[in-house]
Chains A and B, each alone.
Chain A
Amino acid sequence: MKYIPHSGEEVKKMLEFLGISSVDSLFSLIPPEKRLMDLNLPGPFSEVELSQVMTRLSRKNRAFYDRPNFLGAGIYNHYSPAVVDTVLSRPEFYTAYTPYQAEASQGILQTIFEFQTLICMLTGMDVANASHYDGATACAEGVGMAIAQSGKKKVFYSAGVHPQYIEVMKTYHRWNTRVQFIEIPLNKGVTCLTTLRDKMDADTAAVLVQNPNCLGFIEPVEKIAGLKTEMKSKGLLVEAVNEPLSLGLLKTPGDCGADIVVGEGLSLGLPPSYGGPGVGFMATKDKYLRRLPGRIVGQTLDNEGKTAYCLTLQTREQHIRREKASSNICSNQALCALAVTVYLSHTGKKGFADLARLNFQKAFYLKEKICQLPGYSLFADAPFFNEFTVRCPADPVKLSLYLKDMDIIGGFRTGIWGDQYRDCMTFAVTEMNTRKQIDDLTGYLANFCRQEVSVACTTD
């Protein structure tokens, strides 16, 4: 049988050693009436058959391949340099266990230490953990951290936070009766500062904002952080980073005054993979270190005085603290964190900034072209990075279908997130989109407008 090395002779030897006649007797405590006859499962498939079956299944998906893609909304289609998968494909990394035995795990420990450093560099924070399941769960735990730290109960979250992040956050804290979630609406595409100022009070545990927000627009994070001081609030500012590549261009959350920074790192070297695995990151200030959930790697020495790495500050964690732990998390996305580490080290200081600028410029080019078209307008006159939301002249559902007929994956139908966006589409543009793709897209957008609302479009 596949993956089982035992020969009949060996099984016999082992049974003889145990003084039993069949393996069944090892399961004698399971009552006969609870024993199974046979499972009803497909297979077994040989490797050749398996390869055919699975390839056929994969072809039932319409993958990107060469099709232009303008869909983002939390998962972005970036190029992953060959070095990333080369490193990830090393079994020394991908078949390794969680590095509890430090002496046998220096490789993975050091890559996590580098990851923590790189996340601090990106976010402008003091410390980062070894990573989280994804951006949404990191966000939920970041908010939990702020609640625990402040001892307060009100969590103000911007309506510009990715709706799935909000949903996960609410699920996580659903039974915590002391927590109260309050949504701050958007004004002109970004978090409404006036409403936030009016509602914030001494009982504020956290203010959660996403930058760029789920419509693609850049939030006034620094002004939001300023409100905390103005209101003398003990609450913490949690910032979710939607697209970490934006940090190649934008001011770091740390410089803006954020206390906890979380985000999704899938853009940095990992394929979209239908949404996962990605990698959540989480960083904070030194003074909140003891509240930080998840694994952390530290640098230390071995008994000969050589530099070594190990998991540290484990007294926060479940296997030591059990019910008193800061979280139940006991894994990280180590391999995905390694992808991010290799990606950031490879693109490097210049390449990463160049790439961020290119993403912005391509998106800006599309925006300029779309805004010249009759019938389309930018949802709000706010700055953006590589994604932005526009109002469409006719039903975005129809527009999606029309673009699909033209073999283009259009933007995200923002209306899925709320009726206020029912005429909107959010376009993401990355280094994967060529000028020709953008020109083709705008051509089709113009055609669509002419077809659907001929009057409006021709007289505009």
Chain B
Amino acid sequence: MYNGLIFEKSSPGREGFVCPRRDVPYADPGEVIPTEYLAQSPPPLPEVSERDLIKHYTHLSNRNYNVDAQFYPLGSCTMKYNPKINEKISRLPGFTNIHPLADADEVQGAIELLVNLEKLLCEITGMSAFTLQPAAGAHGEFTALLMIRAYFNAQGEPGLNRNKILIPDSAHGTNPASAVMVGFETVEIKSDERGNVDLENLKSHLDETVACLMLTMPNTLGLWDEHLDEIIKSVHDAGGLVYLDGANLNAFMGITRPADLGFDIMHTNLHKTFSTPHGGGGPGSGPVGCIAELVPYLPNPRPVFEDGKYRFINNFKSIGRVKSFFGNFGVMVKAYTYILSLGAEGIKQTSQMAVLNANYMKEKMKGTYYLKYDRPCLHEFVLSAKNQKEKGVSAKDIAKRLLDYGHYAPTVYFPLIVEEALMIEPTETESMQTLDQFMEDMRKIDEEVNADTQLVIQAPHTTPVKRVDETLAARKPVLRWKP
């Protein structure tokens, strides 16, 4: 049940925290700092006891689904299990209690970790170098597009005209949003009837104004493009670069490498593929890797190992900094730990089992739910609730009903090219039993659609709150508590 906000548990004069004793002489801020700079009263923060505080947040935590307790078949998000050793290692004082402006000789271990993690990512993707600065996938896209801009501008006149970014209609919404932030124009490329990039449509846009094609591979349908070679070659022939939105790297690690396929630049998400937790929305980490030609444009500073020492260097061609200090270091510690724990064979098996799980589910579910693109998928697949929709039940309703069965919901209404989309990504960390149970529950929901439509439309019934009124929230925004 709803227990109110922390502010509503506040009582004037109650203290949960004791400030350390003042061991220096008293100095009155009012006598040293001009009154005009001083607050007349302190911020009206809540006044709660430690006991009530812990009760409040423990209670709130119980009003939340999470990977440790539920199956998250969340397409394009790779919600795999978050190994506990990662958390333990990331809390070692040698990693948490270090200052980013400390002299390099004080933090050799930290820089070594940055250099080594970069090396591992290079080996997995075939890229020449990575920056670890970006804090998220979208931040990585933005970084890569800044680099692409700088790369073409450095070429002078012809390069300056390359102002177009081609983006398939199945792409993540961040792709066009990132491109616009760098001042590019975006052009949407159609998909063909087999879920590939429509080659003719692509080629009709390829000219000397194209900077880059942003491609998600496997695409957001979970499908490997049947003409990938030709797509990449065509863009290269037109003088453009090909960017890999690496959100789906979990599909082919150890099987093939983006650089070997011809991709020039990419991002990857440590909080997806490399098992670091999502934290309810962050912190994440979205490193950007690139081929040798683009390396000079990577953000400054870059960690290196030279003359037996770890240190940082700057490149004058660099796009500059995209984040303060060196990125989300704590997240990197976890991803590094994960890669070491798996090794080469484990990394490969990760992708193999992720793909096996997805195909197993796709084949078992496609009778009950419509499958628009019926061919082998990689790590995820997209079903449609269009048959159920005819009976008055939407993909959203099915997603909400799944919550009642104790599963998190799939990604819905994405990609935009599948109506009533239910995008499912099981990941490799889920067992056959978990998958079978989920599919059994999806089958039951389909039965409910026929037998008791209202039961599904009114779902969820067992969650801490019932269907939330999002329209009301947007129409009359209440964005903070007020006394």
Question: Contact at A41–B139, with CB atoms within 8 Å?
Answer: no
Residue pair A104, B123 in contact (C-beta under 8 Å): no
Q: How far is the CA of A10 from the CA of B57 in the complex (A)?
A: 40
B347 contact from A39, A247, A296, A304, Cβ within 8 A: A39
Residues B135 and A276 in contact, CB atoms below 8 Å apart: yes
Contact A103 B464 (CB under 8 A): yes
A-B contact pairs, 17 of them (CB 8 A): A4-B350, A18-B356, A23-B355, A29-B226, A39-B123, A61-B106, A83-B50, A104-B463, A108-B64, A117-B5, A136-B321, A264-B324, A303-B469, A309-B468, A319-B172, A331-B136, A361-B22
Indicate if the CB atoms of A102 and B481 lie closer than 8 Å: no
Does A358 interact with chain B (Cβ within 8 Å)?
yes
Segment with Cβ contacts to A, from B25-33, B235-243, B288-296, B366-374: B25-33
- Residues from chain B with Cβ under 8 Å of A239 in the complex: none
Within 8 Å CB of A63, what residues of B?
93-94, 96-98
In chain B, positions 89-122 with a C-beta closer than 8 Å to chain A are: 89, 91-103, 106-110, 112-113, 120
Q: Closest residue of chain A to B275, judged by CB?
A: A3
Q: Is the CB of B324 within 8 A of A358?
A: no
Determine if A443 is an interface residue (Cβ-Cβ < 8 Å).
Answer: no
Cα distance A328–B286 in the bound complex, in angstroms: 14
- Using Cβ atoms and an 8 Å threshold, which residues of chain B touch A406? none
User: In the assembled complex, how far is the CB of residue B476 from the closest CB belonging to chain A, in whole angstroms?
Assistant: 8
Task: Please name all residues of chain B whose beta carbon is closer than 8 Å to the beta carbon of A177 when the two chains form the complex.
Answer: 183
B341 with A89: CB separation less than 8 A: no
- Beta-carbon contacts under 8 Å, B453-483 to A: 458, 460, 463-470, 472-474, 477-481
- CB proximity to A under 8 Å, residues B396-423: 399-400, 403, 408-409, 414
**Distance between Cα atoms of A397 and B26 in the complex (Å):** 33
Give a binary string over A52-72; 1 marks a CB under 8 Å from any B CB, 0 the rest: 011101111111110001010
Whole-angstrom distance between the alpha carbons of A120 and B274 in the complex? Answer: 35
Inter-chain contact A360/B27, CB cutoff 8 Å:
yes
Q: What B residues does A62 contact at CB under 8 A?
A: 98, 102, 106-107
CB pair A44 B342 closer than 8 Å: yes
B94 → A minimal CB distance (Å)? 3
Q: Please, how many angstroms separate the alpha-carbon atoms of A378 and B400 in the complex? A: 62
Q: Kindly state whether residue B323 has any CB partner on chain A within 8 Å.
A: yes
Task: Indicate whether A210 reaches chain B with its CB closer than 8 angstroms.
Answer: no
Q: Would you list which residues of chain A between 148 and 165 have a CB under 8 Å from chain B?
A: 162, 164-165
Contact B96 A273 (CB under 8 A): yes
Report A-chain residues with C-beta under 8 Å of the C-beta of B279.
93-94, 96, 333-336
Inter-chain CA distance A404–B62, complex, in Å, is 47
Secondary structure call for the B interface: loop
Alpha-carbon gap, A354 to B96, bound state (A): 26
User: A267 at the A/B interface (Cβ < 8 Å)?
Assistant: no
The residue from B186, B280, B331 contacting A323, defined by CB atoms under 8 A apart: B186
* A98-B299 contact in complex given A18-B359, A117-B481, A362-B24, C-beta closer than 8 Å: no
Is A114 in contact with chain B by the CB < 8 A criterion? yes
Determine whether the beta carbon of A252 is less than 8 Å from that of B322. no
Which chain A positions have C-beta within 8 A of B337?
Answer: 50, 54
Contact B178 A332 (CB under 8 A): no
Interface residues on B, range: 35 or more
Q: B37 an interface residue at 8 Å Cβ cutoff?
A: yes
Which residues in A have their C-beta under 8 angstroms from that of B173?
317-322, 325, 330
Contacts of B255 in A (CB 8 A): 27, 30, 35-36
Query: In the complex, given contacts A71-B101, A105-B64, what are 18 additional A-B residue pairs having Cβ atoms less than 8 angstroms apart?
Result: A1-B349, A3-B83, A26-B356, A35-B255, A36-B254, A39-B124, A81-B17, A83-B50, A89-B87, A102-B465, A171-B320, A248-B39, A275-B100, A300-B472, A328-B138, A334-B279, A345-B45, A348-B48
Report the separation of the CA atoms of residues A43 and B27 in the bound assembly, to the nearest whole angstrom.
57
Q: Is B61 an interface residue (CB 8 A)?
A: yes
Q: CA separation between A409 and B89, bound complex, in Å?
A: 25
Q: Which residues of A contact B481 (CB under 8 A)?
A: 113-114, 117, 299
Query: A418 within 8 Å of B by Cβ?
Result: no
Instruction: Report the bound CA distance from A18 to B381 in whole Å.
Output: 15
- The reply on B317 being an interface residue by CB < 8 A is no
Residue A434 is within 8 A (CB to CB) of chain B in the complex = yes
**Please, which residue of chain A has its CB at the minimum distance from the CB of B126?**
A36
Interface residues of B in 367-389 (CB under 8 A from A): 376, 378
Check A98/B278 contact, CB under 8 A, given A327-B181, A435-B24: yes
Docked-complex contact B408 and A23, CB < 8 angstroms: no
Residues of chain B lying within 8 A (CB to CB) of residue A65? 93, 97
B360 an interface residue at 8 Å Cβ cutoff? yes
Which residue from chain A places its CB closest to the CB of B136 in the assembled complex?
A331
Q: Which of A127-135, A196-204, A230-238, A446-454 contacts B (4 or more CB under 8 A)?
A: A127-135
* B68 in contact (CB, < 8 A): yes
- Min CB gap B146→A, angstroms: 7
Q: Which residues of B contact A104 (CB under 8 A)?
A: 64-65, 70, 403, 408-409, 460, 463
Q: For the complex, give the distance between the alpha carbons of A341 and B68 in Å.
A: 23
Closest residue of chain A to B134 (Cβ to Cβ) is A133
Interface centre among B42, B136, B137, B254 (most CB of A within 10 A): B42
Closest to A353 in B: B42
B residues near A328, Cβ cutoff 8 Å: 138, 141-142, 174, 177-178, 180-181
**Which residues of A sit under 8 angstroms from B23, Cβ to Cβ?**
434-435
The smallest C-beta distance from B217 to any residue of chain A, in angstroms, reads: 10
Within 8 A of B (CB), among A111-130: 111-114, 116-118, 120-122, 126-128, 130
* CA–CA, A270 and B477, complex, Å: 30
Q: Let me know if A249 and B39 touch, CB within 8 A.
A: yes
Residues of A within 8 A of B287 (CB): none
**B355 near A26: Cβ-Cβ < 8 Å:** yes
Closest 9 CB pairs of A and B: A275-B325, A58-B94, A60-B109, A275-B100, A335-B279, A44-B343, A107-B64, A43-B343, A353-B42
